[in-house]
Structure 1
Amino acid sequence: MATAPGALGSSAPRRGDGRLAWLLIAPAVAGFLVFFAWPTVRGVYYSFTSFRILTPPRWTGLANWRELSGDSVFWHSLLVTVYFVALSVVVGVLLSLLIAVVLHRLTRSTVVRGLIILPFLISGVVAALVWQWMLDPQLGIISQLLESLTGVRLLFFGDSDWAIPSLAAVSVWKSMGYNAVLIFAGLQTIPASVYEAGRLDGASGFQMFRRLTVPLLRPILVMVVILTVIGSFQVFDIVSVTTQGGPANASNVLQMYIYEKGFGELDFGYASTMSLALFVLLIAITFTQMRLARANETDLS
């Protein structure tokens, strides 16, 4: 029997559905246009101008980009940022994977998962302040414990060699719980029959982890790596609170340099140029990672 127009189960769109849909998504579209699209377009325009906020922007073409290519501080900040990103990604993803596997093997308690993700929910400023107190060379509990065990007192944030590793440790601590929960969710999608087949073939636990778990987790791991890379390149709050880019520019990451140029020297034209360069760099890195890792493919059949 044919279904009457508008009857229950009919897939034909009803009159007025389009207007209702646009009404529902209008706040999100307005927010996107006002807080993302328009600032992006203005930022691209400012990158080709000399704009110091107190005077109208003056078109200078590629002058900012030529200055950027010869700016030694910019390239130093980029190298410092890449060092921070490398530490955060490698250590953070490995720890997150380990925590996710332990959760999957030993417990699936929602309380434990909530406690693990708790650092991610804490403000970056608060986390940076707490770690700055704990790593204080005079009064910090971690510094005192380390000195009592090894007899060595490290400056952590005050040492040029330890500043970036210390910042990376704080970043890893803050984000690894969230990443672990994402990987844990991916582990739950792997059928138990895959591991049963591996055990029947005589594979050890480590062999199954290396040849079954990791390949089947590839889409999730790629997503976690990409999110971690993007977040690490945009680090600002923990650096601003703990080291302010010091000592001797050892932790002067790119976001700190952009902030200094924009809000310290009021050179918003050049700051926009560096921001646009970072934006293009992140797009290139993201697409390269997705292409090389085949993020849109899965080995699950």
Structure 2
Amino acid sequence: MVFFLWPALRELYLSFTKYNLAGTPQWVGLDNYDNLIHDDVFWNSIKVTVEYVIINIGVQTAAAIGIAYLIFRVTQSLAVRSILLMPFLVANVVVAIVWMWMLDYNLGIVNHVLGWFGAEPTAWLGSDTWAIPSIALINVWRFVGYTALLLFAGMQTVPKNLYEVADLDGASEWRTFWGITMPMIRPVFAMVMILSIIGSFQIFDTVAVTTKGGPVNSTRVLQYYVYEQAFVRSHYGYAAAISVVVFVILAALAAFQLKVLRAGDSDLSGG
């Protein structure tokens, strides 16, 4: 009630007002939402955020599934799992600063190593082409181990006798993975996908540390735009309206994923 419901209801109320901290909220009805419809920067922020989410979720999910399956089928070493979790334990701001140095155009080790193979230096975080992919891959590096361990935990619930039968039938690892592992961990996979997409839409700190929305709005994601409207321009009502729209988008995406991925049906229990 205190930390979730009340702030959410107040956010909804403020989205219908013109408000800054210096005065009292003034009711403006749907004006903020009408302004959103005609706000080119807002629509660009949606486009940029979707681009980030597609790259981040696509690469992270594929890599996490592969890593989780390798751990499950090859080694379940505690040391390996601990190493995978280490990037997740580092604060986002620290990760962003370290990668910003590593991707620096002149002094970054990434361009230095690529130069050994004849590649020209690239302004990874200073290019409107490469900035969002770079930020997405930075966060893939940080979260892929954690996501892999969640999927690995789901794989551990699969009855071992199913794999024994598959081995006796001569099924390949590829067939075993798609025929046994993925159907069995569907509820866990659905949960991981929903949490990952929600987390990706809330990307803020990496952008705030590395690019601050630039160059030329190419990394101005929705959460950073909310921050700018609220704490740079003091347009709290408008920022609240953007937040409400983001909430509706995420709720719709979560409901869609639950339906498409059939998160409530578990092959493990015969559902």
The answer (yes or no) to whether the contact 1:97–1:183 under 8 Å persists in 2 is: yes
The answer (yes or no) to whether the contact 1:88–1:228 under 8 Å persists in 2 is: no
The 2-side partners of 1:151 and 1:256 are apart by 32
**Superposed, which structure 2 residues align to 1:1-301 within 5 Å?**
33-300=1-268, 301=270
State the Cα distance separating 1:175 from its structure 2 match. Answer: 0.7
State the Cα distance separating 1:153 from its structure 2 match. Answer: 1.0
SS of the residue corresponding to residue 34 of structure 1 reads coil
The 1-side partners of 2:82 and 2:24 are apart by 50
The 1-side partners of 2:259 and 2:118 are apart by 46
The 2-side partners of 1:92 and 1:67 are apart by 35
State the Cα distance separating 1:187 from its structure 2 match. Answer: 1.1
State the Cα distance separating 1:271 from its structure 2 match. Answer: 0.2
Letter in 2 for 1:117: L
The answer (yes or no) to whether the contact 1:156–1:163 under 8 Å persists in 2 is: yes
The answer (yes or no) to whether the contact 1:157–1:242 under 8 Å persists in 2 is: yes
State the Cα distance separating 1:36 from its structure 2 match. Answer: 1.9
Letter in 2 for 1:102: L
The 1-side partners of 2:146 and 2:83 are apart by 11
Could you say what the CA RMSD is over the residues aligned between the two structures, in angstroms? 1.1
The 1-side partners of 2:62 and 2:188 are apart by 13
State the Cα distance separating 1:281 from its structure 2 match. Answer: 0.8
Letter in 1 for 2:41: V
**TM-score of the superposition, structure 1-length normalised?**
0.87
- RCO comparison, higher one (Cα < 8 Å, 6+): 2
SS of the residue corresponding to residue 157 of structure 1 reads coil
The 2-side partners of 1:92 and 1:151 are apart by 26
The 1-side partners of 2:76 and 2:179 are apart by 24
Letter in 1 for 2:93: V
| Cα deviations by residue, 1:143-183 (Å, 9 ceiling, x for unpaired) | 10012213311110011100010000011111111111111
SS of the residue corresponding to residue 35 of structure 1 reads coil
The answer (yes or no) to whether the contact 1:218–1:295 under 8 Å persists in 2 is: yes
**TM-score of the superposition, structure 2-length normalised?**
0.97
Moved over 6 A (4+): none
| Cα deviations by residue, 1:12-31 (Å, 9 ceiling, x for unpaired) | xxxxxxxxxxxxxxxxxxxx
The 2-side partners of 1:170 and 1:151 are apart by 21
Can you give the 5+ residue segments of structure 1 that lack an aligned partner in the other structure? 1-32
State the Cα distance separating 1:60 from its structure 2 match. Answer: 0.7
Letter in 1 for 2:128: S
The 2-side partners of 1:129 and 1:148 are apart by 24
